[in-house]
Amino acid sequence: MKRAPDSNPDSSKTRRQSARRGLTILEVIISIGIFLASATVVSQLLGTGTRAALAGRRRSQMTLLAETKMSEITAGIRGMTSADDQNFEEDDPGAEDYTWSVTVEDGGMGDLMLVTVTVEHTKGAGDVDDAFKLSRLMRDPQVWIDAAEAASEAEEEDGGSVL
């Protein structure tokens, strides 16, 4: 079976092509909406990533500052006494927004003491927004001091000879 020839076979093709040359306003609006939604999601992800990076940096800084204070106590530079809300010295770079506290408690076993160093990050108004605690069991230095004094007294009594 043969088809009846159209009077102009290219006229219907030309009409369909000319009708689909550009995008409709609905397609443009939908594509802009999809673009804006994806741009919003990406910007929120970037904001979340930035906040997480800053929190990680702040946490690392607090850890290092707490370790420094604990090392000072361990080395005997700072006494093993409790202290509250102390500012860091000027020679600690980037520590102006941080404060530290030390609590010393009985360790529960003989001459052991539980030393806890707390470093807090404060906002501009003085509100604490993050804190890090480092605890360590340490021997009471007074036990060593008493033992050294007893040894020197025994040495003096024995006339300088130590067994």
Domain segments of the chain as ranges: 41-153
Each residue of 107-132: pLDDT tens digit?
A: 788 778 899 999 998 877 777 788 99
Confidence of residue 1 (pLDDT cuts 50, 70, 90): low
**Could you tell me which residue, 90 or 6, shows the higher pLDDT?**
90
3-state DSSP assignment of residue 119: strand
Q: Return d(Cα 3, Cα 26) in angstroms, integer.
A: 38
Q: What is the pLDDT of residues 39-77, one digit of tens each?
A: 999 999 999 999 999 989 989 999 999 998 999 888 888
pLDDT for position 7: 57
Q: Which of 32, 98, 31, 34 is nearest to 63 (CA)?
A: 98
Beta bridge pairs of residue 132: 119
Written as six digits, the tokens of 48 are 């979340």
SS3 (DSSP) at 130: strand
Q: What is the pLDDT of residue 31?
A: 95
Q: What is the mean pLDDT of residues 96-113?
A: 85
